């Protein structure tokens, strides 16, 4: 089981699920996922909206998202704000 960027997916991971056009659709904790499938595998205990099927190929681990934000310089609030 792997996320969109190839990172191994594990139950208990905090994830961000991306929809079409890269919009964030859900944020939560992955559970009930079983090895061998990256589509509609497992569920997300959703922290924002109603939960549902987790397509791991549409998800990123939150640590990887944080790294992307840092790489782009978006991890720090601008001065004066």
Instruction: Copy the structure tokens of residue 66.
Output: 């944080």
**Neighbour-count burial of 9, counting CB atoms closer than 10 A to its CB (0-12 exposed, 13-18 middle, 19+ buried):** buried
Give the pTM: 0.73
Is 24 part of a structural domain of the chain? Answer: yes
Is 79 part of a structural domain of the chain? Answer: no
Is 76 part of a structural domain of the chain? Answer: no
Number of residues in the chain: 81
Instruction: Copy the structure tokens of residue 60.
Output: 């990123």
pLDDT in tens, the chain (81 residues): 888 888 999 999 999 888 777 788 888 899 999 898 888 888 888 776 666 677 888 889 999 998 998 898 877 776 775
Domain, as residue range, for 55 = 14-71
Q: How many domains does the chain have?
A: 1
Q: Give the C-alpha separation, 8 to 63, whole Å.
A: 13
Is 1 part of a structural domain of the chain? Answer: no
Helix (H) or strand (E) holding 59: strand 59-61
Instruction: Copy the structure tokens of residue 26.
Output: 């859900």
Is 4 part of a structural domain of the chain? Answer: no
């Amino acid at each position: 089981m792997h996320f969109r960027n190839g990172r191994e997916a594990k139950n208990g991971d905090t994830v961000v699920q991306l929809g079409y056009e890269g919009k964030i659709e859900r944020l939560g904790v992955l559970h009930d996922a079983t090895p061998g499938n990256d589509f509609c595998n497992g569920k997300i205990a959703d922290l924002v909206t109603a939960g549902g099927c987790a397509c791991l190929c549409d998800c990123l681990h939150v640590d990887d998202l944080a790294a992307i934000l840092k790489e782009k310089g978006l991890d720090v609030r601008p001065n004066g704000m």
